[in-house]
A and B are shown apart, each in its own frame.
Chain A
Amino acid sequence: MTVHDAITRAHREEWARVVAVLARRFGDLDIAEEAAAEAFATAVERWPADGVPPNPGAWLTTTAHRKAIDRIRRESRREAKQQEAGMWQEDPPESVGAVEDGRLRLVFVCCHPALASDARVALTLRMVGGLTVAEIARAFLVQEGAMARRITRAKTKIKAARIPYRVPAAEDLPARVAGVLTVLFLVFNEGYLATGPDTDPVRQDLTAEAIRLTRLLRELLPQDGEVAGLLALMLLTEARRSARVSPGGELVALDEQDRTAWDAGLITEGHRLVRERLGSGQAPGRYQLLAAINAVHTSARDFRDTDWSQVVALYDQLVCLDRSPVVALNRAIALGELDGPAVALASVDRLAQPLDGYHAFHAARAELLRRLGRTAESQAAYDRAIDLAGNAAETAALTRRRKQLP
């Protein structure tokens, strides 16, 4: 392993830990973030000459701690800071277990419901993921200055309103974990179906980061069914990534994908998680059901082999938990494979009112109308879908399907 690899690896594995330890010691996310960044910069300078330390994590934590002390001295606010630091120091000095806990606290503070949704995403990627402000700004097509302000504002609010740095109480935990999962799923989805005509249709950096953070959350909350469910859903979705965009840059629908290009390793891992949840005997939540649906798809050798009655049954369960018209739309599409396009179209048409501005609604109608031989109506529906689609690869695929109409 080269020194460069060692630094990359240490960054991936140790960043959140270092930030979490310092955040607790100094009671200040800002100091923790800056000191961690300085410690990694020092590693980049020193490790090539001095060699990689035997315990990189400990070296980075110690270095970051010194950097934080330096900064506090520099600002000659040492006493005031040390007093403030009292607020996050209710716990005894950290054992290894408590350090793990520190990262979990970090996740919860970054995903606090009192922060704006886009700030939660940005703060999580910065504090837990260790992405630079510039990287996050690029990922969300925002000017770097604007992204820096968004993150600073969130950190300031955490401090001023005294948003606590702790794992929520048991009664609040399900709702708060759900909030964390929403943030991670947002990151994943932005990577999986990137918006904007000039972006890559699939942003692997974002999907990979979302999976990495969800794996971390699973490590920290191994008993949580929805955490496992979201990880499985991401893995089974990511497994199909390379089959999802054609060499010509066109989005490939599930029925046209080359299934031999799917990632068998990710599918095996995703299926194992889904089986683990089925074996738990607990009622599945939204992510577990979505993962199970994806497990059915990834179990079929080809599209025609899909167990559609199973898919529809899972959607029936999902509709009970999630009344959103988008779920109803997906259920109707699955129903089309089971009971034919006429039945599906009747279900889809009932969703016209809430979904008129949603490209996937018009794309689904176009597909069903094509199968029913109603060419003119299908063409009009494709036109609406193309107008509304935000993803370049999706627009290309819809345009081709429209051209293929008789």
Chain B
Amino acid sequence: MQYLLNVIHDSAENATEAEQAAIVVFNKQMQADGYWVFAGGLGVTDNATVVDNRGEEPLVTDGPFVESKEYVVGFWIIEAPDFDVALKLATDGSKACHRKVEVRPFL
């Protein structure tokens, strides 16, 4: 079963060097343990664009789909046998990147 681990933060600042190093260690461990599927950093929402093509014409808007103080700045997609494993990885990931992490199961 796959889970999305969203990294949540409230500022545009990049990870510090120490955080970056901890993330690399965490990623390598996840790869070695077979949990790793994919990961990526997203940064600020200023560069987001929303397109809505449910009507006759696609409607393009500048900015994120919802303005909020906190937003997703990155994510991991992991393969885990159950929620407790996913939660443990999210706990370790939050420590490594020093940011909040949201666990979302795939359907």
Chain A residues near B (Cβ < 8 Å)? 114, 160-164, 168, 172
Interface 1/0s, chain B 72-96, versus A by CB < 8 A? 0000000000111011000000000
Which B residues lie within 8 Å of A164 (CB)? 82-84
Which B residues lie within 8 Å of A114 (CB)? 83, 87, 103
Task: Find the residue from B87, B103, B107 having the highest chain A CB count within 10 A.
Answer: B87
Distance of A209 from chain B, by nearest CB (Å): 28
Q: Does chain A have a CB within 8 A of B105? A: yes
A162–B1 touching, CB < 8 Å: yes
Number of interface residues of B (CB under 8 A): 9
B87–A162 touching, CB < 8 Å: no
Which A residues lie within 8 Å of B82 (CB)? 162-164
Q: CA A45 – CA B50 in complex, angstroms?
A: 59
Which B residues lie within 8 Å of A163 (CB)? 82-84
Distance of A392 from chain B, by nearest CB (Å): 41
Which A residues lie within 8 Å of B105 (CB)? 160-162
Q: CA A172 – CA B84 in complex, angstroms?
A: 10
Chain A residue nearest in CB terms to B1:
A162
* A/B interface sample: 21 pairs, CB < 8 A: A114-B83, A114-B87, A114-B103, A160-B105, A160-B107, A161-B83, A161-B86, A161-B103, A161-B105, A162-B1, A162-B82, A162-B83, A162-B105, A163-B82, A163-B83, A163-B84, A164-B82, A164-B83, A164-B84, A168-B84, A172-B84
Instruction: Give the secondary structure class of A's interface.
Output: loop
Which A residues lie within 8 Å of B103 (CB)? 114, 161
Q: How many A-B residue pairs have CB under 8 A?
A: 21
Q: CA A164 – CA B83 in complex, angstroms?
A: 6
Q: CA A168 – CA B83 in complex, angstroms?
A: 12
Minimum-distance CB pairs A-B, first 9: A164-B82, A161-B105, A163-B83, A161-B83, A162-B82, A162-B83, A164-B84, A162-B1, A160-B105
Q: CA A164 – CA B87 in complex, angstroms?
A: 11
Q: CA A172 – CA B103 in complex, angstroms?
A: 19
Chain B residue nearest in CB terms to A160:
B105
Chain B residue nearest in CB terms to A113:
B87
B46-87 residues at the A interface, CB under 8 angstroms: 82-84, 86-87
Which A residues lie within 8 Å of B87 (CB)? 114
Q: CA A168 – CA B87 in complex, angstroms?
A: 13
Q: CA A192 – CA B105 in complex, angstroms?
A: 39
Distance of B55 from chain A, by nearest CB (Å): 31
Chain B residue nearest in CB terms to A165:
B82
* Besides the known contacts A162-B1, A162-B83, 19 further A-B residue pairs in the complex with CB atoms under 8 A apart: A114-B83, A114-B87, A114-B103, A160-B105, A160-B107, A161-B83, A161-B86, A161-B103, A161-B105, A162-B82, A162-B105, A163-B82, A163-B83, A163-B84, A164-B82, A164-B83, A164-B84, A168-B84, A172-B84
B1-27 residues at the A interface, CB under 8 angstroms: 1
Chain A residue nearest in CB terms to B88:
A172
Q: CA A160 – CA B2 in complex, angstroms?
A: 11
Q: CA A269 – CA B14 in complex, angstroms?
A: 59
Chain A residue nearest in CB terms to B107:
A160
Which A residues lie within 8 Å of B83 (CB)? 114, 161-164
Q: CA A395 – CA B86 in complex, angstroms?
A: 47
Task: Find the residue from A160, A161, A163, A168 having the highest chain B CB count within 10 A.
Answer: A161
Q: CA A46 – CA B14 in complex, angstroms?
A: 68
Chain B residue nearest in CB terms to A108:
B84
Which B residues lie within 8 Å of A161 (CB)? 83, 86, 103, 105
Distance of A184 from chain B, by nearest CB (Å): 21
Distance of B33 from chain A, by nearest CB (Å): 15
Q: CA A164 – CA B84 in complex, angstroms?
A: 7
Distance of A156 from chain B, by nearest CB (Å): 11
Q: CA A162 – CA B107 in complex, angstroms?
A: 10
Q: CA A163 – CA B103 in complex, angstroms?
A: 12
Chain B residue nearest in CB terms to A90:
B81
Which A residues lie within 8 Å of B84 (CB)? 163-164, 168, 172
Distance of A241 from chain B, by nearest CB (Å): 38
Distance of B4 from chain A, by nearest CB (Å): 11
Task: Find the residue from B83, B84, B107 having the highest chain A CB count within 10 A.
Answer: B84
Distance of A169 from chain B, by nearest CB (Å): 8
Distance of B92 from chain A, by nearest CB (Å): 13
Chain A residue nearest in CB terms to B104:
A161
Which A residues lie within 8 Å of B86 (CB)? 161
Chain B residue nearest in CB terms to A164:
B82
Task: Find the residue from A114, A162, A164 having the highest chain B CB count within 10 A.
Answer: A162
